[in-house]
A and B are shown apart, each in its own frame.
Chain A
């Protein structure tokens, strides 16, 4: 039983396109929602994170959209580049960051 459901499992986007990855959760006690990026042979690294008091957060080409009532959040990558090709994980945790629960991951391939 996965507490954070992520889709799609894989995604192919052309260079310059928009990549969209979605996550849904059930636990309303979650109050911290980060996205991690993982390149082959490396550990995941924090990309961007949001708290439920805002509906959107943007950092460069990366944007998190958050819908508290639907219990969903998504990552948008604008002007996708081949260097963005990686596996992306959404995650969630409750207050104090004690346990971060991850989604299943999305493998993104950006074709030139």
Chain B
């Protein structure tokens, strides 16, 4: 089983719908991240969390919200999806000693 699991892997939705992307990890890491990948723009940080009570905005948090339900779970929500939120979304955990990020396999979201 993957150390960082994202669900769903693919989702097509319509403008205005609420969408939740879920992430769970078995790495035991405290720090978790949500990134968005777009062609030509690389990976941009949406939100990150150092523990259940510590959540921080990244570069592009507008239109997104997150919830850290437990050390192992970090979900990303789009309250009212719009077409320019069509992208590949990655969850990651951080090994605090080495600085290595461990990514999930991504959730591809299409907003029509």
CB distance from B112 to the nearest CB of A (A): 22
Contacts A9-B40, A43-B105; is A93 near B99 (CB within 8 Å)?
yes
Residue of A nearest to B50 (CB): A98
- Which of B66-74, B79-87, B90-98 is near enough to bind chain A? B90-98
Question: Does A97 lie within 8 Å of B45, measured CB to CB?
Answer: no
CB distance from A45 to the nearest CB of B (A): 7
Q: How many residues of A contact B (CB 8 A)?
A: 24
CB distance from B54 to the nearest CB of A (A): 11
Question: Contacts of A43 on B, CB cut-off 8 Å?
Answer: 4, 90, 92, 103-106
Q: When chains A and B are docked, how far (Å) is the Cα of A49 from the Cα of B48?
A: 21
Contacts A9-B40, A43-B90, A89-B42; is A32 near B99 (CB within 8 Å)?
yes
Chain B contact residues: helix, strand, loop or mixed: strand
Q: How many residues of B contact A (CB 8 A)?
A: 24
Question: Does B40 lie within 8 Å of A44, measured CB to CB?
Answer: no
Q: Does A61 contact B (CB under 8 A)?
A: no
Question: Does B58 lie within 8 Å of A97, measured CB to CB?
Answer: no
Question: Does A46 lie within 8 Å of B101, measured CB to CB?
Answer: yes
Question: Does A104 lie within 8 Å of B90, measured CB to CB?
Answer: no
| Interchain residue pairs with CB less than 8 A apart (28) | A9-B40, A34-B99, A41-B106, A42-B106, A43-B103, A43-B104, A43-B106, A44-B43, A44-B90, A45-B103, A46-B101, A49-B99, A89-B42, A89-B43, A97-B94, A97-B96, A97-B99, A99-B45, A99-B58, A100-B45, A100-B99, A100-B101, A101-B45, A102-B42, A102-B44, A103-B42, A105-B40, A105-B43
**6 further contact pairs, Cβ within 8 A, besides A43-B104, A44-B43, A99-B45:** A6-B42, A34-B100, A43-B4, A89-B42, A93-B99, A102-B42
